[in-house]
Amino acid sequence: MVAQGFTVDLNKPLVFQVGHLGEDYEEWVHQPIVCKESPRFFENDLLEFLTLNTWWVIPLVWLPVVCWFVKSSVNMGVSSNQLAATIAAGIFIWTLLEYTLHRFLFHIKTKTYWGNTIHYLLHGCHHKHPMDGYRLVFPPAATAILLVPFWNLIKLLTPTLYAPALLGGGLLGYVMYDCTHYYLHHGKPLQGVSSKMKRYHMNHHFRIQDKGFGITSTFWDRVFGTLPPKSGKKLR
């Protein structure tokens, strides 16, 4: 199914084209097209609709869920100090998950037809069209599916009292991540921390794409040695 010398037609739905690129996919997907218009993914209108999300849907859907999980721990008798510490722990765990997923899953190298196709849907589309505001945040339906195994794992490893608050903290960390990520692409900070974060993330997209995997923080890049150099040869 991989076609040697294949050229993607940007005027046609992209998803089932990119797999044909084979080994050339890695280079193609890391040559960004800076345009705010959303490319067509699928011929089918329903499938196309399911790939489009506005940023404000994320807090609208998930903040009430965060509150429900946190309240569950409160109802079981967790004190205010314990609750704050557990939520903070959940947020901290999320930052590691954010880094790990971005580095090892979202930037996995693929060359088979289905490998390229799945990667493009998962993260490649974001690197090819980094200013596409409708495919920047993660669809809530997909998040809900992924939440199930994480919840089961937390219940297995965490005392019953604290499990809901820990998941609530992790989910809050995710909401902060997705909203921050959108802002770094579409906000216009002039100075301060947000401006530095935007430069850091744009550097990941447009200069050195195999460094700088943190979105909400550079902490884990520092820990694992993936901070981008201040200058040097462009890498992928």
DSSP state of 43: S
pLDDT given for residue 3 in this prediction: 66
Beta bridge mates, 208:
235
pLDDT at 233 over 60: no
Work out the average pLDDT over 175-180.
Answer: 97
Residue 3 lies in a domain: no
pLDDT at 55 over 50: yes
Q: 154-175 burial, b if ≥16 CB within 10 A, otherwise e?
A: beeebeebbbbbbbbbbbbbbb
Residue 233 lies in a domain: no
What domain range includes position 30?
A: 12-222
Residue 7 lies in a domain: no
Q: Provide the number of structural domains found in the chain.
A: 1
Residue 1 lies in a domain: no
What would the DSSP string read from start to end of 187-233?
Answer: ----SHHHHHHHHHHHHHHHTBTTS---SS-SHHHHHHT-PPPSS--
pLDDT at 161 over 90: yes
Residue 236 lies in a domain: no
Residue 2 lies in a domain: no
pLDDT at 1 over 80: no
Q: 191 pLDDT band (50/70/90 cuts)? A: confident
Asked whether the CA dihedral 196, 201, 202, 208 is positive or negative, the reply is positive
CA distance 144 to 150: 10
Residue 227 lies in a domain: no
pLDDT given for residue 236 in this prediction: 43
Residue 229 lies in a domain: no
Work out the average pLDDT over 77-93.
Answer: 97
